[in-house]
Structure 1
Amino acid sequence: MKKEFFEEKEGLKDILEEAEILAELKEEERIRKKNAKLVAFAVIGIVVCGGIFFWAQRTPKEKPAITDEAPPPKEEEVFPEAGKIKPPGEPAQEMKPLREPQASDEDALPLEPKAETAKPPVAPGKPVEKAEKKVAVEKKAETPAAPEKQKEGPKKETKKEAKKEETRAFNIRVGAFVLPDELKQASDKVKALGLLPSTKREKNKIGMHKVLVGPYSTKGAAEKVQGQLQAKLKKGPVVENGGKFYVQIGAFYKKDGAIEMKEQVEKMDFPAMPLFEPTEILCDTLYASGKGTRSEVEKTLNLLKGKGFDAAETVSR
């Protein structure tokens, strides 16, 4: 019996402990919900207050717009009342005799406000008139006389520049020549235009017509052909072009010479081809010098180009 009693007692204790735990959990949940509500209300209140604060700052306080038609000044309403106000030292009985002249002054009262009302519009109108006068003065200051002076200035400058150009010396590079005969013919044409020709020996890039024998896949094969051509014509270097090897047997200033050499090689049962490319060589450069304005220099250049010197250009020497 005692054992059963103790077991029942322990069971009751367990039940009570569970009940206490459940009660604590419910109380914690209730407090948590209450705190959540308070936090939500606080956040809403902060958001609303912040919105009102920012809205109040963003809305500017608009000042009353000033228009040309100004309302009648307050002085009109003040003047009639000012006559009724008495100094503080006077007794109240003296108010009666003041009413007697009011009847006689009623005829004069309308005249005084008219004169006074006419004055206030004049006062605000004065600054407008001054502003209009300033605008008129500014418009008068912007007269067309200033642009005329500016036009006269550039004209004087152009005249000075024209005077400087009259004594300006110039040099024109007519072209580069390999053959002496062509150089002499070009010099004669320059003299005919009233210019002073002069020559200078220097390197120039000139289009040359080269004759190439080939192509050959290897350099050794090209060198074998080079030996055969040397015995019959003349020795030429082995060159590479586009991954293939060739034997160059000649370079000609004129295309006719290259064509003749190509035909001669083909008769010897060797494949040949002409190749035109600019090559830097030492040759004679023809210059023409003179004096004149810029327009005269341009005319001279056009004349030289009309004579066949398409590469003519002004240079400094």
Structure 2
Amino acid sequence: MKKYMVAGAIPLVAVLLAAEEGPGQKPQMAKASTHKKVRASQGRHGERNGFFMGADYQLGMMSSTEQACSMVKNPNSYLGAPAQISSCDGSRQQVNVGTVDKPIWNTVWGNMGKKSYMGYLNGKSYVTNGFGVLMGYKHFFKKLPELGLRYYGFFDYAGTGYRYFKQLGGPLHYQQTNIFAYGVGTDILFNPKPFNKENFHFGFFLGVAIGGTSFGPTSKFFNQLLQTYGTHMRPSNFQFFVNGGLRVGSRHNGFEFGIKIPTIGTNYYYSNGAKAAMNTPYSLTLHRNFVFYWRYMVSF
């Protein structure tokens, strides 16, 4: 009988052990499942690091400022001298614009296009159309994946119909102008957390760039001034750019809408003031004021 009791107890013990082990396995299974979820959550990140390149269409504005020598009344006109003279010597003068008996003294400046210049001034604005390309690398911070940086080099081209005076106040002459901008820059990238996914992102960018700007409005007229009045031409200059806008995209493709502002004008042409002729341009400044652009991006 003891044999039957032992034989019957063995299955019972086995069932009880199985029942005890069963609840002990459930926490382990739950813990493993939790680890899988954590790993899956950590595996899903925002916008990816990587190289990128882009191309854009640009619509902007350019301005030109032409200045000429002052025309003032000759204080010696009563002696039969010309009634008007040119003040282009680059210095400040006290000129009597009245008579000998009743003098009226005015200060005349001939300082080669500085802000205090009091001569003829003609300003024009022009619409520019062009394109740009850029290439670089972007990366996002591990502890703050919504925030990142990108570094890039760029080249821009734009064209417009530049209008200049051969005699200030006279007829306008038209010439195609080519504008080139180039340099390197860096932008801060920010994607709000709800829109910072690996396969979709939406955010903002803001940055700066340094480089150069070059203009190509050289004409036969300016070459003649160069030979006649000892002028100087500087088609290129250092440039500092401010850049910002919106961006949206997927893992490999994206679009951006932004504005780029070149902050430094180009003193393209100026002459020796002592040799410049009255009413003839002796200082010309060109400036690409701003550019709006629509850009397509490819990320690798």
**TM-score category by the smaller chain?**
under 0.3
Rg larger in 1 or in 2?
Answer: 1
Q: Which has the higher strand share?
A: 2
Q: Which has the higher helix share?
A: 1
With the length of structure 2 as denominator, give the TM-score of the two structures.
0.23
